[in-house]
Amino acid sequence: MSDLSAVLGAISHPSRRAILAQLAKGPARVTDIAAPFDMSLNAVSKHLKVLEGAGLIHREKQGRDHVIEFRAKPLKQVAGWVHEYERFWNQHLDRIESYFIEKRKRR
C-alpha cells in the first residue's frame, strides 16, 4: 500500500537513505544498521519504522533479532512520477523558458 507521499517523505531524510544504501548490500539486524550512526538505537528504530511504513523495508523476527531487508518496489512509483517530467530537463530551454525568452525580446 505504498503511498507516494510516504515513500518520498521516507527517502527525503539522509539517514534513511543511508540506511537503505546499507541494506542494499544485504539484510541486517537493527543494531548493525544503527552501528555506523551517531544516533541512539531508538532513533534508528524510529527511522526503520518510517521506512517500513513506506514499504521500503521488510522485517522478520528471528529470536531476539529483527532481520531487516530492503524492498525496492515502492521506488518504482517514484521512478514513475519522475519519469513524467523527464522530457523537461532537455526540452527545457526550447519549451518552458520560451515564455521568458519571448518576454525579454519584447523589451
Q: Which residues bind DNA (CB under 7 A)?
A: 9, 12-13, 15, 29-32, 39-43, 45-50, 59, 62-67
Cell 533479532 belongs to residue = 65
Task: Provide, rounded to whole angstroms, the least separation between the CB of residue 34 and a second copy.
Answer: 19
Are the beta carbons of 76 and 35 closer than 8 angstroms? no
CA atoms within 13 A on the CB side of 20: 22
Are the beta carbons of 63 and 13 closer than 8 angstroms? no
Which chain residues interact with a second copy by CB under 8 A?
A: 4-5, 8-9, 11-14, 17, 20, 24, 26-27, 60, 62, 67, 69-73, 75-76, 78-79, 81-86, 88-89, 92, 96-97, 99-100, 103
